[in-house]
């Protein structure tokens, strides 16, 4: 008897540019300019007295650039905090729709303010499709409602085939001129057992045998009173202007978006496509993100909402959380991918139901062939420049640097043989009803993240509202 080996996956690496040591090009430029600034001021001003001021400032800039926290230079934190504080003083982090003048009162808050929901009818007769049109960028976002089949009981060969099929699906997006980015979201919302009983009660055939009806009733009665509702969808951000035939008007742009949506093939990837999301589906998903209890709202209630009503009446974008009406959300962003190979179920702990609503979003940007080739060449050149710098400074490379160089070389070989290249990240959001629940919700996510095979997250400080809407099918994608 032989045991089937579980497949492992890895080799992810953070994109790097040329620089000194671990610094990228921009950080290296800042350090060099900080070193040269005191000398240049002496040459221009002709006085050594300026060193008393310029040298401490230069050292502070260098320290903030070189020292890192959560994988980011402290300079980025200082700049981010200053920008957020300035926006907060201007009142730009507060949203009160009841006090906004028309037409701003008919907008959603924050980054989704330029969006508008339109209803498109495809020529195939499969019903309406909801498209979120960003009037500022011109992009359109469409969604597919998914039903994950699950792979916990599947064999290793089946899982390997499904992962390969998912990779092929992403690679094919590079051939679609209009597709900018894609994302997959799973939202787990705690719910009561009432939803299960209502679902079964409406589907029991009164003419069914008494034994069958009794068995179903007993199963429902013994089911846990607390359950979780899973909603999954894939969003595509489509730029109609990038298609060969430039669309004229909104109708033609919507036709391009529908064509790109229909080109997505997820067969064999371990997921079933339920249908294309309608305008009512989009409103339900967005409304459920701001108010989780409305995910189960009656269909007529969702249909009656207009676009600006799916968002909150009031919102406050604080430094560490996002408050919208009677709810508070906290979001995290991926800081570092696993350094070691991981099994396919690495996200299982993060996707498991918890006490609070949780939304996990994987965002992708599939690079076109010419751009992927340029990125690979840039990465190889950056590694060679670092190796040359270490040789000149007589510093031996670390084990981590050698492994990173091996991954870069492997990526270059795979790209040369026709493999696609994808930029990706993960965003996690949890939503609670009361501020007293925030510490417990944070601990729940932190514990799940630590159990996810080396995935490291950091809070989206100063960008909580933006990180929160990344998981909604509204076309906000940080990789754009």
DSSP assignments along 145-160, one per residue: EEEE---TTS-HHHHH
Q: What is the mean pLDDT of residues 69-80?
A: 79
Q: How far apart are CA 351 and CA 443, in angstroms?
A: 15
**Can you give the pLDDT at residue 477?**
87
Element (H, E) at 276: strand 271-276
Is there a domain that residue 190 lies in?
yes
Residues 6+ apart with CB under 8 A from 290: 310, 311, 312, 324, 325, 327
Q: In this structure, are residues 328 and 438 in contact, taking their beta carbons and an 8 Å threshold?
A: yes
pLDDT above 70: percentage of residues in the chain: 91
The count of other CB atoms within 10 Å of the CB of residue 202 is 7
| pLDDT at residue number 1 | 42
Comparing 210-214, 224-228, 316-320, 440-444, the range with the smallest average pLDDT is 224-228
Top pLDDT among 459 and 153 is at: 459
Which pLDDT belongs to residue 420?
A: 74
- SS3 label, residue 64: helix
Phi, psi (5° rounding) for residue 355?
-80, -15
276 band by pLDDT with thresholds 50, 70 and 90: very high
pLDDT value, residue 224: 56
Of the given ranges (152-161, 178-187, 249-258, 304-313), which has the lowest mean pLDDT? 152-161
* 30 found inside a domain: no
Mean pLDDT of 442-463: 89
Handedness of CA 277, 283, 288, 294 (dihedral sign): negative
**415 in any annotated domain:** no
**Could you tell me the pLDDT band of residue 2, with boundaries at 50, 70 and 90?**
very low
DSSP SS3 for 311: coil
| Residues above pLDDT 90, as percent of the chain | 33
Mean pLDDT of 279-292: 94
Domain membership flag for residue 296: yes
- Whole-angstrom Cα Rg for the chain: 26
What span, in angstroms and rounded, lies between the C-alpha atoms of 477 and 92? 21
Total domains in the fold of the chain: 1
Residue 426 falls within a domain, yes or no? yes
- pLDDT digit string, tens, across residues 85-138: 999 999 889 998 877 776 766 789 989 999 999 999 877 777 899 999 999 999
387 lies in some domain: no
- Confidence label for 59 from pLDDT (cuts 50, 70 and 90): confident
Structural domain contains residue 242: yes
Lowest pLDDT segment from 75-89, 204-218, 405-419: 405-419
pLDDT score at 198: 66
Report whether pLDDT(415) > 50.
yes
Using CA atoms, how far residue 22 sits from 16, 75, 327, 379, 384, in Å, is: 9, 15, 40, 13, 13
118 vs 405, residue with greater confidence: 118
Euclidean distance between CA atoms 232 and 236, whole angstroms = 14
Residues 6+ apart with CB under 8 A from 335: 70, 71, 456, 457, 458
- Measured in Å, how far apart are the chain's first and last C-alpha atoms? 50
Question: 292 phi and psi, to 5 degrees?
Answer: -55, -30
Reported as half-sphere exposure (CB side, CA atoms, 13 A), residue 178 has a value of 29
Give the DSSP H/E element, type plus range, for residue 285: helix 279-290
Give the mean model confidence (pLDDT) for residues 151-180.
80
The pLDDT of residue 165: 87
Residue 348 lies in a domain: yes
Q: Show the domain range for 318.
A: 96-367+420-470
180: enclosing H helix or E strand = strand 179-192
Average pLDDT over residues 388-393: 76
DSSP state of 296: G
């Amino acid at each position: 008897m032989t045991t089937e080996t579980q497949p492992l996956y890895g080799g992810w690496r953070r994109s790097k540019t040329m620089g000194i040591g671990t610094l990228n090009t921009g950080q290296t430029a800042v350090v060099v300019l900080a070193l040269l600034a005191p000398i240049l001021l002496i040459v221009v001003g002709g006085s050594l007295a300026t060193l008393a001021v310029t040298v401490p400032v230069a050292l502070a800039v260098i320290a903030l650039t070189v020292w890192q926290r959560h994988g980011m230079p402290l300079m980025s934190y200082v700049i981010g905090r200053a920008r957020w504080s300035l926006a907060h003083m201007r009142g730009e982090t507060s949203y009160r729709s009841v006090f906004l003048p028309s037409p701003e009162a008919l907008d959603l808050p924050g980054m989704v303010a330029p969006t508008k929901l339109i209803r498109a009818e495809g020529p195939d007769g499969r019903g309406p499709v909801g498209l979120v049109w960003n009037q500022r960028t011109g992009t359109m976002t469409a969604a597919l409602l998914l039903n994950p089949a699950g792979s916990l009981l599947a064999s290793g060969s089946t899982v390997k085939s499904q992962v390969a099929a998912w990779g092929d699906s992403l690679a094919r997006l590079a051939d679609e001129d209009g597709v900018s980015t894609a994302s997959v979201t799973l939202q787990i919302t705690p719910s009561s057992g009432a939803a299960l009983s209502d679902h079964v009660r409406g589907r029991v055939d009164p003419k069914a045998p008494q034994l069958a009806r009794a068995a179903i009733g007993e199963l429902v009665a013994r089911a846990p009173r607390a359950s979780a509702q899973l909603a999954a969808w894939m969003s595509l951000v489509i730029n109609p202007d990038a298609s060969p035939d430039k669309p004229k008007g909104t109708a033609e742009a919507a036709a391009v978006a529908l064509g790109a949506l229909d080109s997505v093939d997820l067969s064999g990837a371990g997921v079933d496509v339920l249908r294309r999301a309608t305008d009512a589906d989009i409103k339900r998903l967005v409304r459920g993100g701001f108010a989780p209890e409305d995910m189960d709202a009656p269909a007529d209630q969702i249909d009656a909402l207009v676009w600006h009503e799916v968002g909150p009446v009031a919102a406050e974008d604080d430094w560490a959380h996002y408050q919208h009406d009677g709810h508070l959300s906290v979001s995290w962003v991926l800081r570092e991918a696993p350094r070691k190979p991981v099994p396919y179920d690495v996200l299982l702990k993060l996707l498991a139901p918890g006490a609070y609503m949780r939304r996990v979003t994987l965002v992708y940007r599939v690079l076109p062939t010419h751009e992927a080739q340029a990125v690979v060449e840039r990465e190889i050149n950056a590694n060679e420049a670092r190796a040359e710098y270490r040789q000149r400074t007589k510093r031996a490379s670390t084990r981590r640097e050698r492994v990173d160089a091996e991954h870069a070389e492997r990526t270059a070989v795979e790209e040369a043989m026709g493999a696609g290249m994808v930029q990706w990240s993960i965003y996690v959001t949890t939503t609670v009803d009361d501020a007293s629940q925030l510490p417990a919700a944070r601990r729940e996510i932190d514990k799940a993240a630590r159990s996810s095979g080396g995935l490291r997250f950091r809070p989206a400080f100063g960008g909580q509202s933006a990180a929160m809407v990344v998981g909604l099918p509204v076309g906000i994608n940080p990789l754009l």
